[in-house]
Structure 1
Amino acid sequence: METTIRRSRLAFTPKTAWGLADQALASATSIALTVVVAREVDIVALGAFAIANTLYMIILSFSRTVVSEPLLVRFSHVSEGEHRRGTRQSTGLALLIGVGGGVLLLAARPLYGGPVAEAVVPLAIFLPGLLLKDAWRFAFIAADRPGQAIVNDLVWAVGQVAGVGWVVASGRPTLSGLVTAWAASAAVAALVGSAQARLLPAPLKARGWIVSHRDLLPAYLVEFLARIGGRNLALLAIGGVNGLPALGAIRAAEVVYGPLNVVLQAGNLVAIPQAVGALKRSAATLRATVTAQSAALTVMAACYAVLTLILPDGLGRALLGGSWDQARAVLLPTALIYTGVAAMTGAVVGLRALGDNRRSPAVRLLLVPLTIGCGVAGGQLYGAVGAVAGLGLANLAGAALWIWQFRSALRPPTDQSPEETRWNSSNTGDGIAGSSFRSPPSR
């Protein structure tokens, strides 16, 4: 017991910090691109860039759902040979998703055209490189080599600085040129990632990846659809009740919280390998590990919220221009949203490590009507501030629900015999009976 406690106290390791630092670097380059685009193009082109970026984030989230999450769950803390096989298959699937997504975006070009096409076409062309580069990052994290992930992100950052800087220095920067420089530098980083791993993606083996993880993927996809659909439906409902100014205020506040949001969203993935390793030691270590993860991220969210509240008006207007006043009004309730995300991270990661495919989708689906209802009710009562506060309260309630489900998953089933309970307790360190966690299947 003493050994377990000592390990638990060290659950939030320096390598986890390196993983979060990698995500911070990635978010910094993304935000820097948005700032450059906002300064160099007109408002119409900026709106077109926002559409292209939204499409990219949806496709990226889908790729992470079917590629990176199963890799982190099944191929962390395994032999090098097993990890290499899984990495070749997963990166091959990421490449195929990029090709398929790019083809769809190009095929839909007649539907948007104009400035949107100027941003979406280069995104579509370089989408395979963008998704492959992201897949390499999480492959390195699963291999417990976050330093290589940071090096790869530095390659992308340097490429962006050189490419975007050249476009700006040309004197006539265009939206197409800026997006091309950003996306092409990701393709370069993807090639460097292959050299770092000394592996080539195996697109022809992507089907084997899907078959091997068919027990995980349906539940993961349900969660993906619930995340994407729930958020967008809530915003549409709030817009219908409170109008476009309320949505503008919410979007402006999200820009202020952008760096924190990227770190929190990626924190789920970064923390999974550590949780998987903790479960292999004992359930008590897993519980302590995910508690430490949530606590650290919650403290980070609280500190970031304080910084936003004391942000000078001059800096706020430099960042958001005339939208700063609207954003400032909802910064405090927006803090509730991100505090809830931080608080639930440990439980979400814990259920991933346990391989629980039943509780996580159920929680996601329950949160959809809760989020919509709280957001709309708050908006009807107190306008934009109330709408954001409602979304924040829904997130806090969701965090409590996630934590309850994780703790329930740690309890042994009540229908076990005393002999079965003792056997499971001796094998997990704290009595996780019936966990669906398993080692990677042989291929």
Structure 2
Amino acid sequence: MKKLRGLRNHRGSAAGLADQLVSAGANAATGLLVLPFLAPSEAGAVLFAISVGYFAVGIARAIVGDVLLTYSARYGDADRARQASDATKTAGALGLLASLLAVIAWASGPHFLHELIWLAPFLPFVLTHDAGRYVFLAARRPDRALVADLTYVGVQAVVLAVLLGLGYRDGAVFLCAWGIGGIAGTASFLLRARISPLRGDLRGWIRETRHLSSWLTVTALLGQAQVQFVYTLVTGLLAPAALSLLRAAQYGLLMPAQNLQMAVSSLLTPRMSRLAGAGDAAGVSRLLRRALTATALCGLVPVALSPLAGPLLDVILPKYAQAGTIALPVAIQALIYLVQVPFTAALRGMQRVRSLFVQYVVFVVAQAAALIVGTLAYDLRGAAWGMMVGSAIGLVAMIVLYRNAHRQLAPVDTNTMSATAR
């Protein structure tokens, strides 16, 4: 039985990592493919629109996805099924709200927001698809999440190939392909999970999970606002072309690490949650140490590859070759993010959401200050090194908060929590 259980866990972990690699590849490709087809100034507006889409995904994930991993993973099938239905309806409602805000920003905002109109129709589907991934991950069925993501990516790739093949070369091509893939991924999730997007209790979900979602949402808002602040600051103090150079370096070195970060976190958090719920402090420590060794080794890869960034860009994308000058600080930031993953998953598993918020405040303030000083003093290179310094300060804060939470770890009665929530 132990061997059978171990084999299932191994297959589940492999499916989970494969799912995240597929999702990560799609996210990276959405931005990377913009670069060779559009000039830097045009690409900047499209990349900004894509970042707004991921901003919406990030906020919805805090209210739905992260809560499913942290909260629903501790419950049985019946409770998880009810929570999945409520979470799906909540994600769809958040998507409709995001669509409305995107249209308002497009109609009344500055010119660089004009690409948002192509994003708006698809946000409810993209957010519902993302919620579906977390429904499957919380139920420890990453294989089903993988199927939904393969559907998303496959349809997106076909639509993009057809539109580019027909000669279309503007932002609408990339944004519409991204959105149509979201529609297909949503359909795959709803059919396999047998969930109706119109059922579920939105108010019930908010009421039951507000002790987690409120802090996770504030943390996500802060984190997403920080991302938008970086893009806006770089664009405002330097130029749209500078944002394209920054994103070129990030797509190659930082984004793979961020996607691996999400992959490891989505696999670690449910396990940390079960260990923390049982009050197994020693188990949490063992799992964290194993994960930390793996993530640190992975983080050394972008640092080792950073000297090759400039020469490779000079051959592949010569108009972005300047991005090689900021490859090293971006790679070090990727290493810091990966080292931080096990600590973040442990805090989520222990449901220390206030600690996560405190860490984000420290990180955002430190990075904002270092970014402004670096940009004013040394332009884009200063901005990249400033972001790295802020990330390092955030890592130190995360470790301190984890150690404090771990010392206070105690068993949690999930039956009492569920009854109280209802």
Q: TM range, normalised to the smaller chain? A: 0.7 to 0.9
1:357 maps onto 2:334 in alignment: no
**Is 1:29 the equivalent of 2:29?**
no
Pairwise CA distance, 1:179 = 2.4
* Residues 319 and 83 (structure 1), Cα distance of their counterparts in 2 relative to 1, 3 Å cut: farther
1:406 equivalent in alignment to 2:383: no
- For residues 44 and 304 of structure 1, do their structure 2 counterparts lie closer, same or farther at Cα, with a shift above 3 Å needed? closer
For 1:191 and 1:33, how far apart are their aligned partners in 2? Answer: 21
**Could you give the per-residue CA deviations for residues 56-111 of structure 1, whole angstroms, max 9, x where no partner exists?**
01101000010111111111142111111111011110011111111222233322
- Select the structure that is richer in helix: 2
Question: Aligned equivalents of 2:29 and 2:66: distance in 1?
Answer: 27
- Structure-2 change in CA distance of 1:336 and 1:157 (3 Å): same
Report Cα offsets for 1:123-167 as digits up to 9, x if no partner. Answer: 211111111111111111111111111111111121112211111
Q: Is the Cα contact below 8 Å between 2:69 and 2:134 reproduced in 1?
A: yes
- The corresponding residue for 1:163 is 159
Q: Given the alignment, which residue of 99, 104, 110 partners 2:101? A: 104
Corresponding residue for residue 278 of structure 1: 275
In the other structure, the counterpart of 2:132 is 136
Aligned match of 1:192 = 188
User: Is 1:47 aligned with 2:24?
Assistant: no
Contact 1:356–1:437 at 8 Å: present in 2 too?
no
Over 3 Å counting, the alpha-carbon distance change for 1:186 and 1:236 in structure 2 is closer
Is 1:321–2:298 an aligned residue pair? no
Give deviations 1:397-443, integer Å, cap 9, x for gaps.
3212211211111214xxxxxxxxxxxxxxxxxxx24x778466244
Does the aligned pair in 1 maintain the 2:19–2:146 contact within 8 Å?
A: yes
Residues 1:347 and 2:343 are matched in the alignment: yes
For each residue in 1:329-369, what CA deviation from the matched residue of structure 2 results, as whole angstroms up to 9, or x when unmatched? 22112222112111111111111111113322122112222
Partner residue in 1 for 2:418: 441
Deviations 1:9-36 (A, max 9, x none): 99x9553443232122112123323343
Is 1:252 the counterpart of 2:229? The answer is no
Partner of 1:422: none
Q: Check 1:132–1:238 CA distance in 2 against 1; reply closer, same or farther (3 A cut).
A: closer
Q: Give the letter aligned to residue 346 of structure 1.
A: P
CA distance 1:339–1:77, shift in 2 (3 Å): same
In 2, the alpha carbon distance for the partners of 1:215 and 1:310 equals 46
1:299 aligned onto 2:276: no
Residue 372 of structure 1: CA displacement? 2.3
Aligned length: 412
Using the TM superposition, give the Cα deviation of residue 235 of structure 1 relative to its aligned residue in structure 2, in angstroms.
6.1
Tell me the SS of whatever aligns to 1:58: helix
> Match of 2:305, as an amino acid?
L
After superposition, give the CA deviation of every residue in 1:296-350 in whole Å (9 maximum; x if it has no partner): 222112113312333471x31355432223x212211222211211111111111
Q: Following the alignment from structure 2 to structure 1, what is the Cα–Cα distance between the partners of residues 223 and 120?
A: 23
Q: Which amino acid aligns with 1:285?
A: G
Distance 2:379 2:45 in 1: 28
1:94 to 85, 91, 96: 91
> Please, which of 324, 327, 334 is the counterpart of residue 331 of structure 1?
327
Instruction: Give the equivalent residue in structure 1 for 2:224.
Output: 228
Opposite residue 119 of structure 2, the aligned amino acid is L
Letter of the 1:155 counterpart:
T
**Any idea what the Cα deviations from partners look like across 1:273-305, whole Å, max 9, x if unmatched?**
121133245111112212322332221121133
Does the 8 Å CA contact 1:336/1:396 hold for their aligned counterparts?
no
From the superposition, tell whether residues 172 and 223 of structure 1 become closer, same or farther in structure 2 (CA, over 3 Å): closer
In the alignment, the residues of structure 2 paired with residue 229 and residue 259 of structure 1 have an alpha-carbon distance, to the nearest angstrom, of 21
CA shift for structure 1 position 219:
1.4
- Give the 5 Å matches for 1:118-137: 119-137=115-133
Query: Which amino acid in 2 is paired with 1:301?
Result: G
Q: 1:319 to 1:127 in 2, by over 3 A?
A: farther
Q: Distance in 1 between matches of 2:218 and 2:207?
A: 17
AA of the residue aligned to 1:216: L
CA contact (8 A) 2:20 2:262 kept: no
Separation (CA, whole Å) in 1 of partners of 2:118 and 2:237: 36
TM-score between the two structures when normalised by the length of structure 1: 0.83
Tell me whether 396-405 or 257-266 shows the greater mean CA deviation: 257-266
Q: Indicate whether 1:59 and 2:56 are aligned.
A: yes
Q: How many Å separate the matches in 1 of 2:343 and 2:413? A: 15
Match of 1:287 among 275, 285, 288: 285
C-alpha separation between the residues in 2 aligned to 1:399 and 1:74?
A: 25
> Aligned partners of 1:407 and 1:17: how far apart in 2?
30
Residue 335 to residue 57, structure 1, CA distance change in 2 (3 Å): same
8 Å Cα contact 2:70/2:349 also seen in 1: yes
1:154 paired to 2:131? no
Q: Which runs of 5+ in 2 are unaligned?
A: none
| In 2: Cα distance, 1:437 partner to 1:355 partner | 13
In the other structure, the counterpart of 1:263 is 260
What secondary structure does 1:310 align onto? helix
Name the CA shift for 1:301/1:13 in 2 (closer, same or farther; >3 Å): farther
Contact 2:44 / 2:240 at 8 angstroms: preserved in 1?
A: no
Maintained 8 Å contact 2:362/2:397: no
Q: Please tell me the root mean square deviation across aligned C-alpha atoms, in Å.
A: 3.0
- 1:203-214 equivalence runs, <5 A: 205-214=201-210
CA shift for structure 1 position 270? 3.8
Query: Does the CA contact (< 8 Å) of 1:355 and 1:437 recur in 2?
Result: no
58, 82, 87: which one aligns with 1:85: 82
Q: 1:52: how far off? A: 1.5
| Preserved contact between residue 258 and residue 334 of structure 2 (Cα < 8 Å) | yes
Aligned counterpart, 1:425: none
Separation in 2, partners of 1:200, 1:354: 31
Unaligned residue ranges in structure 1 (runs of 5+): 4-8, 413-431
Percent of paired sites with the same residue: 22
